[in-house]
């Protein structure tokens, strides 16, 4: 029987963070959700607020906080390009100062701490598919650098705290993830396409739509994160977490139009600077060390996500930043 743990989830009211909190609460752990609500929604965790083993704290992780915990999942950081480019200095502070603060807490409490890193550490990759040993092709002075380099610096901090202070760390590199509770205006392709299709707007593709992504359903992703936290201490990562099935952005748009029954047309816009042309994870390490691989096909996951979009009132949501 699993012992009850005190678990902190930073960014816990976000899309992935809220599902992680939900899963940990269901496992009877005492869960502290910490969030500053920059891009997240309190409604994502409203159904947990009355539970005795859930606590919500409004706090910005760039400032220190003193808590007593056994495990920390560090998910705090805006993750959509329009959001992290809105205030790039704040974004890199969240990655770097946030990492320093959670690592300091983990060192003091002797807690395990997991960093939610990203496939963006690979930049516009020259290696395909991407393995964890690939060091990336990142523009350190481009418009995406605040996020890409912030997450790379956070990985550095995690490894240095592990080597110098014996902190029990875990690092996961998350590839494109989607599912219910995505913010309708987060600027990601899945939420953009579904929202545009449901209201009958044209679906906007950047470039010619031939760039590729690999889409992992949120339930599969959360299972991988929890499995990584429970991995043996001799496997700290980094480990790629994502779906190795690759789709072009145009294929995704056409599938969304089909599944929604929309009459939306495809329109094309210039490709943003430093936008990766290909993205697909090699998940051999996750299979070997975690016994994990995604189970949800893209069509099935999109149908569940579209059903959720049907269930919400888009008028209750607003773009978190002026970028959308």
| pLDDT on residue 66 | 95
Q: How far apart are the first and last CA of the chain?
A: 47
pTM higher than 0.85: yes
| 147 assigned to active site | yes
How far apart are alpha carbons 22 and 45 in whole angstroms? 8
CATH fold label, 6-177+217-244+279-295: Rossmann fold (3.40.50)
**Cα dihedral 82, 83, 89, 94 sign:** negative
Residues with Cβ within 8 Å of residue 324, at least 6 apart in sequence: 82, 185, 186, 187
Instruction: Identify the active-site residue in 73, 84, 122, 147.
Output: 147
Mean pLDDT by 10 residues, the chain (324 residues): 87 96 97 93 94 98 96 91 82 96 98 96 91 93 92 98 97 96 87 92 88 94 98 94 94 95 89 78 96 96 96 80 62
**Cα dihedral 7, 90, 224, 130 sign:** negative
**CA of residue 172 relative to chain centroid, distance:** 10
CA angle, 130 as apex, 267 and 20 as ends, to 5°? 80
Q: How is the chain split into domains, by residue range?
A: 6-177+217-244+279-295
Q: Tens digit of pLDDT for each residue in 9-39?
A: 999 999 999 999 999 999 999 999 999 998 8
| pLDDT on residue 216 | 97
| pLDDT on residue 279 | 86
179: left (phi over 0), alpha (psi -120 to 50) or beta: left
| pLDDT on residue 1 | 44
String of DSSP letters for 203-260: EEEETTS--EE--EEHHHHHHHHHHHHTS-TT----EEES----EEHHHHHHHHHHHH
Q: Nearest to residue 226, comparing CAs of 75, 14, 57, 38?
A: 75
Phi first, then psi, for residue 250 (nearest 5°) are: -65, -40
């Amino acid at each position: 029987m699993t012992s009850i743990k005190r678990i902190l989830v930073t960014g816990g009211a976000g899309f992935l963070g809220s599902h992680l909190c939900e899963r940990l609460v269901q496992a009877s752990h005492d869960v502290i959700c910490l969030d500053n609500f920059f891009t997240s929604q309190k409604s994502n965790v409203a159904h947990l607020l009355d539970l005795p083993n859930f606590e919500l704290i409004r706090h910005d992780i760039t400032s220190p906080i003193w808590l007593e915990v056994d495990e920390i999942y560090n998910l705090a950081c805006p993750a959509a390009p329009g959001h992290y480019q809105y205030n790039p200095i704040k974004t890199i502070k969240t990655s770097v100062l946030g990492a320093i603060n959670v690592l300091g807490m983990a060192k003091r409490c002797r807690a395990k701490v997991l960093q939610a890193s990203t496939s963006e550490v690979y930049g516009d990759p020259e290696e395909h598919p991407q393995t964890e040993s690939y060091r990336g092709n990142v523009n350190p002075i481009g418009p995406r650098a605040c996020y890409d380099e912030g997450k790379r610096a956070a990985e550095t901090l995690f490894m240095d705290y592990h080597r110098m202070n014996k902190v029990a760390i875990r690092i996961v590199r998350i590839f494109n993830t989607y599912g219910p509770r995505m913010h309708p205006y987060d600027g990601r392709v899945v939420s953009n396409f579904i929202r545009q299709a449901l209201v009958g707007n044209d679906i906007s593709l950047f470039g010619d739509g031939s760039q590729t992504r690999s889409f992992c359903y949120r339930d599969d992703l959360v299972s991988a994160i929890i499995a990584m936290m429970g991995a043996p201490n001799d496997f700290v990562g980094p480990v790629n977490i994502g779906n190795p099935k690759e789709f072009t952005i145009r294929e995704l748009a056409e599938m969304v139009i089909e599944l929604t029954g929309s009459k939306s047309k495809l329109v094309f816009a210039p490709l943003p600077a430093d936008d990766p042309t290909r993205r697909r994870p090699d998940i051999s390490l996750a299979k070997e060390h975690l016994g994990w691989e995604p189970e949800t096909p893209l069509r099935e996951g999109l149908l569940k996500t579209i059903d959720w979009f049907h269930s919400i009132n888009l008028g209750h949501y607003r773009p978190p930043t002026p970028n959308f």
